[in-house]
Amino acid sequence: MPAIVRAQDEWRAGQARVGLKKTVALVGMMGAGKSAIGKALALRLNVPFLDSDMEIEKAADRSIAEIFQRDGEAFFRAKESQVIERLLLNERCILSTGGGAFLTPENRRMIASNGIAVWLKADTAILWSRVKHKGTRPLLQTENPYQTLVDLAQAREPAYAEAGLIVEAEMDMSIDEMTSKVIRALRAHGGILEDDQ
């Protein structure tokens, strides 16, 4: 057994067992850390991690960029809603959603009814530092990707602000520190059930 897997198993065994009252859906801009924080949260809470974009890619057998290019954004958003609904009805988990998923009113309603939305809020300087070297973001394939990112963030903030919890990132905050901050917010919100053992 690889050392990292052994260490994770030992770390988990020493933790208090926890449960989620509902699925925790991470929302926010590209680069906010939904996948990285989501995986760390799932490990710390010993629950499954699911990524709606990855599930869409598996179902379509092509990348998000290819879906956008071949079928357009409207088609992608329709499939995204179907996948999110399916994932919300599965076992309770940490669910990372795509940056535009929470903009759809129906998705916001589904998540509010079946989960807890957590907005990982990060300013554009943090977002840009994380996405500027990645060529896999279809919405940033523009003449001025930085301005596109700024415009997207401004347009999307009112929708993200409807999340049940808002957790703000800081420039030098590590994944572990941000994960702890999210867990504290979930505990304060009552979204985590802990065993008395």
Residues that constitute the known binding site: 31-36, 53, 77, 99, 137, 156
- The token pair that represents 167 in the structure block: 């957790």
Residues near 184 by Cβ (< 8 Å), separated by ≥ 6? Answer: none
Binding residues for substrate: 53, 77, 99, 156
Q: What are the binding residues for ATP?
A: 31-36, 137
- Give the list of residues 6+ apart from residue 14 with CB closer than 8 angstroms, or none: none
Report phi then psi at 186, rounded to 5. -65, -40
CB-based burial of residue 36 (10 Å sphere; 0-12 exposed, 13-18 middle, 19+ buried)?
A: middle
Query: Residues forming the annotated binding site for Mg(2+)?
Result: 35
Phi, psi of 65 (to 5 degrees): -60, -40
Question: Which are the contacts of 55, defined by CB distance < 8 A and separation ≥ 6?
Answer: 83, 86, 87
Q: What share of the chain is helix, strand, coil (3-state, %, to 5)?
A: 55, 15, 30
